[in-house]
């Protein structure tokens, strides 16, 4: 007997329709449409039943992605037993592309990962620094000094105007 699971990959709200569609071998969109029609004709009785079933039915066990958990991770040979059909591969690729769209990238494609976890250039535990950081600090210091001198000149000009005697009125 097969167990009922909520889908991890084909989910719109809770993954319940995706998991049931996978179990029965039908299209998940068709099942979602049937649930919406049933909710309409049953005057909303299906909606609480749907969420109750979503609370009771567990999530699909994690197999480690489209390639499985690797050797020794209880997936058949480390290649993931449920990723054999073309539909499953397309679904996995769709989610991979969606994740990339929102900023996720695998470690070997992510330059931010390389910058953050690169080996330090000088000494243990000290972050790698470039000359660009030092140059930017020097530029900021020079700009602040120039701004301070301009403000001092304005204050001196203002004090000079305040100390001048006013004429007879």
pLDDT tens-digit readout, 95-127: 777 777 777 666 555 566 556 656 555 555 555
Task: Give the residue among 46, 43, 45, 41 at the shortest CA–CA distance from 16.
Answer: 46
DSSP three-state, residue 78: helix
Q: What is the mean pLDDT of the chain?
A: 76
Spatial separation of the C-alpha atoms in residues 21 and 26, rounded to whole Å: 5
Model confidence over 61-91: pLDDT tens digits?
766 655 555 554 444 444 444 445 666 777 7
- The lowest-confidence range among 16-20, 57-61, 107-111, 136-140 is 107-111
Task: Give the residue among 66, 136, 134 at the shortest CA–CA distance from 97.
Answer: 66
- The lowest-confidence range among 2-6, 92-96, 100-104 is 100-104
Give me the residue spans of the domains in the chain: 1-61, 126-160
pTM metric for this prediction: 0.39
Task: Give the residue among 45, 53, 52 at the shortest CA–CA distance from 19.
Answer: 53
Spatial separation of the C-alpha atoms in residues 19 and 60, rounded to whole Å: 8
Spatial separation of the C-alpha atoms in residues 122 and 162, rounded to whole Å: 56
Is 17 in contact with 35 (CB distance < 8 Å)?
yes
Task: Give the residue among 45, 63, 47 at the shortest CA–CA distance from 7.
Answer: 63
Residues 6+ away with beta carbon under 8 Å from 63? 69, 75, 80, 81, 82, 83
């Amino acid at each position: 007997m097969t167990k009922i699971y909520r889908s991890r990959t084909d989910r719109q709200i809770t993954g319940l329709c995706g998991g049931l569609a996978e179990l029965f071998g039908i299209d998940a969109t068709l099942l979602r449409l049937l649930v919406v029609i049933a909710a309409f004709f049953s005057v909303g009785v299906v909606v609480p039943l749907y969420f109750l079933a979503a609370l009771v039915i567990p999530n699909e066990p994690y197999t480690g992605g489209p390639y499985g958990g690797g050797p020794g991770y209880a997936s058949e040979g480390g290649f993931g037993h449920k990723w054999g059909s073309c539909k499953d591969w397309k679904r996995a690729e769709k989610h991979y592309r969606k994740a990339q769209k929102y900023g996720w990238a695998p470690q070997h494609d992510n330059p931010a990962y390389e910058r953050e976890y690169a080996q330090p250039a000088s000494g243990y535990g000290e972050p790698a620094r470039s000359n660009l950081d030092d140059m930017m600090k020097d530029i900021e210091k020079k700009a602040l000094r120039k701004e301070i001198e301009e403000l001092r000149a304005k204050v001196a000009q203002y004090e000079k105007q305040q100390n001048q005697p006013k004429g007879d009125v």
